Structure 1
Amino acid sequence: MYAIVDLETTGGQPTQDRITEIAIYVHDGEKIVDEFSSLLNPGQAIPPFITQLTGITNDMVRDAPKFHEVARRVVEMTEGCVFVAHNVRFDYSFLKKEFADLGYNYSRKTLCTVRLSRSLMPGLPSYSLGKLCQSIGIPLENRHRAAGDAHATALLFGRLLKITQESEELPHGQDTSHTLARVDALAPAGKKPSARRVAAVQQAIKTALLPPLITPEKVASLPQATGVYYFHNEAGDVIYVGKSINIYKRIQQHFAVDVKSRKSLEFKNSIADITWELTGSELVALLYESHLIKLLKPAYNRAQRRSVFPAGIYLRTDEQGYKRLAYGRADARNAEVPIIALGNQFKAQGFLYHKVAKYNLCQKLCGLYKTPGACFDYQVHRCQGACLGLEPPESYNQRVDEAIDSIRYEHETFVVIGPGRSELEKTIVLVENGYYRGFGYVDETFSARRIQDFREVIQPYNDNKDTQQIIRQYLRTKRKGERVKVFG
C-alpha cells in the first residue's frame, strides 16, 4: 500500500513554518482506495506571497482544525504504507516535525516520484509536477493546493507502476522499452511481470534519500578515504565543496538529513554529479577546502567564501615603550603586515575589544577610546592605568604579548608532516614566520633539514584568517601519523 501525500505550508522551513493544508490518497498499487484532505490552522500568519501562490488565506484557515486534531487520522491512513510524494523529503520533513512537536516519532519508508520518474521516463524536459503531468498527459487541477497536487501525484504514481508492467507509448512518441529492459534486470529471472513492479518500487524506496540525478552506483563508487568532494549541477558547475576523513560516509550523511528549507531541497535536487580529490591528511583537506571555496565561490557554500580580508590587527610601540594593538585597513596602501587579517574593520574592532577585555589592556592605547585623559576602563577599575603612565610598560607589555600569543601560533616557523594519499607518500604543510605558505606531497623517503627544502616541495597558497584558525585549532589535538617539525 502507498500513501500519496501533499502539503501546503506557510513557508519552506520545517523548523519555523507550519502546514496549512494536507491531502492523502491511499493507493493499493492498482487504484486509489481511500482519500483525505483538510485545511489546517497553522497557528501563525500566512505570508502574502504564499497566499498568492496557493490561494489559501488566513480567513480560510481560521476555523480549520489544528494539526493535532488530524494527527491520528494521518497516522492511521499511512500506517503500513510507503510514504510517496513529489520531492518526498520536503513533505516528509514537515510531517516529521509536526509529529515531533507532539512528542511522536513519525517514521515511514519513503518513495520520491521525481526520482522514480527520472528513472522510468528519462529525457523529459522537466520533472516538476506541473510540467511532468503536462508532458505525459495527466490532468492537474487546483495546482498548488494539496488535494489537486496529491491527486495528480497519485495518477502519476499509477502511471509509473504501469510502466513497470507493460510497454506503453508515451505522448510525443517516447518509447519506454529501454526502461522496461532496465526494470527487468532488477527482477529475478522467471518471475511474472509483477516482480518488475516490486523490484522497481523497492529500488525507489532504497534510493529515496538520494538526489534525483544521483545513481546508487555513483554513491557506491565514493572512496572511504580523506579528501575534498565536489557537487556539480547538470551544467557541470561546482555548486558545493566539502571535506571529510571518509568521503563516502559524509556524503551519505548529506543525503540522509531531513530537508530544512526549500533552498536545501533545491540544493539536493540540483546535484547531478559528484567528484573528489583525495588528500590523505585531514589538515590538508581542511586547508584545500577553504582555498577551493574562496576560489570557486560555490552557490551553496556560505562559510569561508571571503577571499579578501581588508582589515587586520596591528602591533606598534609608542615613544614611552608601550606596545599598542590597533585595528585598521589591511591592503596594498598599508605596508604593515597584520598579526591577523579580518573581514572588515567592524569585525577587527570587535576582535580587539574582545582581546582588551580578556587581557585587561587599555582601550585608549588600543585606539578604542578617544580621550586626552584616562580611558573608560580605568574609571571602572578594569585598566591598570597605562593610559596615564601609571602602569609601567614592562608589566603592560607582558599582557599584550599574551594577547598576541593567543592569536599567533606557538612557534613562528614549523612544518606539519602527515599521512599522504598512499602508504608511499607524506603531506607537508608549511608555516613560516607565522604565515601559512602552502602544502605539498612528498615521497615517504623524503628527508629535509633546512626550511628551504620544504619551501621547494609545497604548492603556495594564501594565508588568511580562515587558514590561521584551521591550523591553530588542528594543532590543539594530536593526530595519528602526524608530527610537527619546528625551526628556530
Structure 2
Amino acid sequence: MYAILDIETTGGKYNEEGITEIAIYKYDGHEVVDQFISLVNPERDIQPFVVNLTGINSNMLRNAPKFYEVAKRIVEITTDCIIVAHNAQFDYRILRTEFGRLGFEFERQSLCTVELSKKLIPGQKSYSLGKLVRSLGIPVADRHRASGDAQATVKLFKLLLAKDTEKHIIKNSVRANPKLQLEPKHIDIIADLPSITGVYYIHNAEGEIIYIGKSKNIKKRINQHFTGTNAKSKKIQAAVSSVTYEATGSELVALLKESEEIKRVKPIFNRALRRTIFTHALYSFVDENNYINLKIDKADGRKKPITTFSNRQSGKSFITNAVEEYNLCQKLAGLYKTKTSCFNYEVKLCNGACIEKEPPESYNKRVNNLITKNSYANKNMVIIDRGRDVDERSAILIENGVFVGLGFYNLNYQINNIDVLKSIITPMANNRDTQHIIQSYLRRYKRTKVLTL
C-alpha cells in the first residue's frame, strides 16, 4: 500500500517552513482507496514568491485547521504505507519536522518518483513534475496545488509500476508490509483479488516471486492454484505468502507481459527455460514454374516463418480458410498432393495455377496479399487494444517488424507524436514467442485496431 502525497509550504529557512496544504491519496497499486486533502494554517508568514506560485495566501488559511488538528488523520491514512512523493526527501522531511514539533516520531518508508523516473524513464529533458508528466502524456490540473500535483504523481507512479519490469517496487512493498509476513489463509488472499484480466505474481514470505501467470479472471485462476491437487499446485500452496497482480485490460498485453517476465524473473515454479510456445509455422517458397507455394511445417529457428501456430492442426485450419478467402490453389498451398490438378479446380473453385493455366503473376499477387496480412515483417505499426480503465487504451509498438514494447495512454490525451508514444512504452524483448503471440492474437481477433505509422 502506498500513500502518495504532495505538500505546499510557506517557504523560508530550512526546517522552519510550515505546511499550507496537504493532499494524500492512499493507493493499492491499482486504484485510490482513500484520500485526505486539506489546507493547513501554518501559524507563520508565507513567502511572497510562494503566494505567487501556489495562489495560497494568509487570508485563505485564517480559518483552516492547524497541523495538530489534522495530524491524527495523516497518521491513520499513512499507517502500513510507503510514502511516495515527487522529491520525497523534501515532503518526508517537512512531515517529520511538523510531527517533531508535536513531540511525535513519524517514521515511514519512502519512495521518490524523481529517482524512479530517472531510472525507469531515462533521457528526459526535465524531471520536474510538470514537465515530466506533460512529456509522458499525463494530464495535470491545478499545478502547484497539493491535490493537483498529488493526482499527477499517482498517474506517474502507475506508469512507473508498469515500467518496473524487474518488479523491485512490488517486491520491496511485499517484504516491507508486516501483515504479509504472516502466513495468511488462502481464502483471505483470494478475497482481495479481482475478477479481471491481467498478470498475477505469487510471492513467498521474503517477497520473492515464485510463480507468474496470466488470466482473464485472476480471482478464479488463483482459486484453481489453491485447490489444485497436482504436485506443482501443492508446492505453491505451501510456499505462498501473498499474491499481487497487474491489471492489463487487454489479453494481448497480459500474454506478452507473462511471456517476458517468466523469461526475465525465472520463478522457481514456472519452467526455468520455457519451451517455445509454438510448434509449427507457415513457410513459402517459389517452385520451378515461378508460383509461390505455401507449406505448414515444424518450426525451424533457421528459417523465417510467415506466421506460427501452436500445433499442426491449427496451421492446417488456417491454410484451409486462407485457400477459400484468397482463392488459392489447394496443391500449391500444400493441402492436396497430386501431380495433376487439385480438387478445387475440378469443381471450378481454383483458377488453375496447379496446372499452369493461371499466370504466376496474378496467382502470386493473391498469395502476397495473404503473406502481407499475416506477417508484420518490416512494418511500422501500433496495435490499439483495451486499457485498464474505460478511459484508457493499450498500445503495442512495432518498428520495422520488430516488437518494441507496450504501454497505456489516456483517451483524453491524443498521442500524435511518436516521441511521446515511445516515452510511455515499456521496452520489451522481441523474440519468436512474442511474434507468435501477436500474430495469433490478430488472427483470432480480426477487429483489433491496427494503426500503420
TM tier relative to shorter chain: 0.3 to 0.5
Q: TM (normalized to structure 2)?
A: 0.43
Larger Cα-atom Rg: 1
